[in-house]
């Protein structure tokens, strides 16, 4: 009797799953047909040829009837342009790919984004088993923004000929007198890796404001150009660099420049998590809503994520996408997230602290 009951339950589940899959397939065909008629998807995305190529080339090959119009923009450029366009009654963009700062501070509060969850159709995208943490991660309760690439980021960089990366086991090692006057840092008053590093310092219970104040006594030099930051370490002008573009650092490493990233797994406090430019949203009043849905589902598929993660160097939130290109970035359970609303709110106290302790003037957020 029990065996028959379980068999009936299994049959019922299989029928239900099949019905859901058929409904999704029908919806997808309707959306795809409408998207081809729209013929275009307008994407706002991060600058850099590797990023723009990963967000356009393969999609265009797979869906030749949907042309990708791509605006490669820095964070500081996006919000002012969107506000000006929308004030003029122009709603030109369909999809947003970028960091969370602009979205959390302006786009979501300003009502620029729709709930991207409503655009998810393909079973391989909606299947929670495919994602780290048991499901797609959204950055806000309204589910306006998907986190695609939550990755450990590098906080400390050294010249391995001068400082062995494994010799630094804690961020507090930077307080050693030998590093005084020999530390550079990406300016933590502007949105970027420097601010992400100091947000992590501020939020970490073993570091916090006291560590930030103590570090200031080491007289670190703030810089704003990633290439100069990396070259300063390579030329032994500085012994340690705090918070630069780890993508640029890795590119320089591959070119033979003497710079190394201190592995988060070797640091007592680890490092923070960030998606970098890997968050995804859908604009409201989009001119090509169906093409936007096709694009979003492609980007969140295994194919789209493999392309984006490999080209950017970050780790996809999909479990079926390889991490072999950058294993040190694989998320460490329990790591501090520096991209959430809580992290954004920290800035209200962090920036004044940095201004006071380091004598730096706050720069506009990107």
Task: For each of the domains in the chain, give its residue range(s) and CATH number, in order of start.
Answer: 2-151+275-329 (3.40.190.10), 154-271+338-358 (3.40.190.10)
- Distance (Å, whole) CA 41 – CA 55: 12
Burial class of residue 44, CB neighbours in 10 A (0-12, 13-18, 19+): buried
**What pLDDT, on a 0 to 100 scale, did the predictor assign at position 16?**
41
Give, to the nearest 10 degrees, the angle between helix 208-216 and helix 341-358.
30
With H, G, I as helix, E, B as strand and everything else as coil, classify residue 227.
Answer: helix
**What pLDDT, on a 0 to 100 scale, did the predictor assign at position 17?**
45
Mean pLDDT by 10 residues, the chain (366 residues): 55 48 87 98 88 93 97 86 96 96 93 96 97 96 97 96 97 98 95 91 97 98 94 95 90 92 96 94 98 98 96 95 95 94 87 93 53
Q: Beta 95-98 vs 279-283: how paired, if at all?
A: antiparallel
Considering the entire predicted model, what is its pTM?
0.86
**What pLDDT, on a 0 to 100 scale, did the predictor assign at position 3?**
63
With H, G, I as helix, E, B as strand and everything else as coil, classify residue 284.
Answer: coil
| Token digits of residue 169 | 């086991």
**What pLDDT, on a 0 to 100 scale, did the predictor assign at position 12?**
45
CA distances 181 to 118, 207, 209, 241, 259, Å, are 52, 21, 20, 12, 19
**Tokens 């033979």, located at residue:** 256
Residue 338 neighbours by CB under 8 Å, 6+ apart: 153, 196, 199, 200, 203, 272, 273, 274
**102 and 44 Cβ atoms separated by less than 8 Å:** no
- Distance (Å, whole) CA 97 – CA 235: 35
**What pLDDT, on a 0 to 100 scale, did the predictor assign at position 2?**
57
With H, G, I as helix, E, B as strand and everything else as coil, classify residue 117.
Answer: helix
State the chain's maximal CA–CA distance in angstroms. 79
């Amino acid at each position: 009797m029990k065996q028959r009951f379980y068999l009936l339950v299994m049959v019922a589940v299989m029928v239900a799953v099949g019905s859901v899959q058929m409904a999704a397939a029908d919806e997808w065909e309707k959306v795809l047909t409408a998207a081809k008629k729209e013929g275009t998807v307008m994407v706002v995305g991060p600058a850099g040829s590797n990023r723009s190529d990963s967000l356009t080339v393969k999609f265009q090959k797979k869906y030749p009837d949907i042309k990708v119009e791509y605006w490669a923009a820095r964070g500081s450029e996006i919000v002012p342009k969107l506000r000006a366009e929308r004030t003029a009654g122009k709603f030109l963009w369909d999809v947003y790919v970028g960091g969370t700062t602009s979205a959390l501070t302006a786009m979501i509060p300003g009502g620029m984004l729709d709930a991207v969850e409503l655009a998810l159709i393909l079973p391989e995208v909606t299947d929670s088993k495919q994602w780290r943490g048991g499901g797609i991660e959204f950055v806000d309760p309204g589910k306006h923004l998907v986190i695609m690439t939550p990755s450990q980021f590098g906080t400390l960089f050294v010249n391995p000929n001068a400082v062995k990366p494994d010799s630094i086991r804690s961020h507090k090692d930077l307080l050693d007198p030998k590093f005084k006057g020999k530390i550079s840092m990406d300016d933590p008053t502007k949105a970027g890796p420097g601010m992400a590093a100091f947000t992590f310092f501020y939020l970490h219970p073993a570091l916090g404001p006291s560590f930030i104040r103590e570090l200031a006594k080491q007289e670190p030099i703030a810089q704003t150009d990633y290439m100069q930051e990396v070259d300063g370490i390579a030329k032994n002008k500085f012994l340690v660099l705090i918070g630069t573009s780890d993508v640029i650092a890795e590119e320089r490493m591959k070119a033979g420049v003497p710079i190394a990233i201190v592995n988060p797994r070797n640091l007592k406090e680890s490092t923070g998590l960030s998606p970098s430019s890997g968050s995804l949203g859908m604009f409201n009043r989009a001119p090509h809503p169906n093409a936007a849905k096709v694009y979003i589902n492609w980007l969140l598929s295994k194919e789209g994520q493999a392309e984006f993660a490999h080209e950017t160097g970050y780790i996809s939130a999909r479990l079926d996408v390889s991490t072999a290109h950058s294993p040190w970035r694989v998320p460490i359970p329990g790591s501090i997230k520096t991209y959430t609303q809580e992290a954004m709110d920290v800035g209200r106290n962090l920036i004044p602290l940095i201004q006071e302790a380091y004598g730096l003037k706050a720069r506009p957020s990107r």
